[in-house]
Amino acid sequence: MHVVYQRGMPLADLFDISESDTVWDAWFNTVTLLDILENTQQISQYYNFQQARNKIAKIYMLAESHAIDKKNTKCLCGLSDGEHAFLKRKMMRFFKLQVANLKHFIY
């Protein structure tokens, strides 16, 4: 299913996650695409949406617990700023991989 947005932009491109995005942006793009695809009957037999939702929620809760996107809030977990930056990169990679995996259903 190759869906094209009105102005010629493929639908899949609307869900791209960039380096300047926050974890919240990446989470939002991922769950929005998941919501769209979950309501497509042909796909539900090939993808475990509940398992994906659980993983996505777990990663987002981790981001919240470490105040990843909160500039005025300091995490008290004991990780250094560098370790928090590394954790954020890993989270962003997770969301990018989720989106890339889901995009296979719309091309």
Mean pLDDT (whole number) for 4-31:
82
Using one digit for the tens of pLDDT, what is the confidence trace for 27-73?
999 999 999 888 877 787 788 899 999 999 999 999 999 999 988 88
- Between the two ends of the chain, the Cα-to-Cα distance in Å is 5
Q: How far apart are CA 89 and CA 48, in angstroms?
A: 25
DSSP 23-73: HHHHHHHHHHHHHHHHT-HHHHTTS-HHHHHHHHHHHHHHHHHTTTT-TT-
- Please, which pLDDT band fits residue 3 given cuts at 50, 70 and 90? very low
pTM above 0.95, yes or no: no
- Please, which pLDDT band fits residue 107 given cuts at 50, 70 and 90? low
Residues 6+ apart with CB under 8 A from 70: none
Parse the chain into domains and list their residue ranges: 11-103
Give the pLDDT of residue 46.
82
Q: How far apart are CA 15 and CA 84, in angstroms?
A: 25
pLDDT mean across residues, the chain = 87
- Please, which pLDDT band fits residue 76 given cuts at 50, 70 and 90? confident
Q: How far apart are CA 43 and CA 45, in angstroms?
A: 5
Give the pLDDT of residue 8.
64
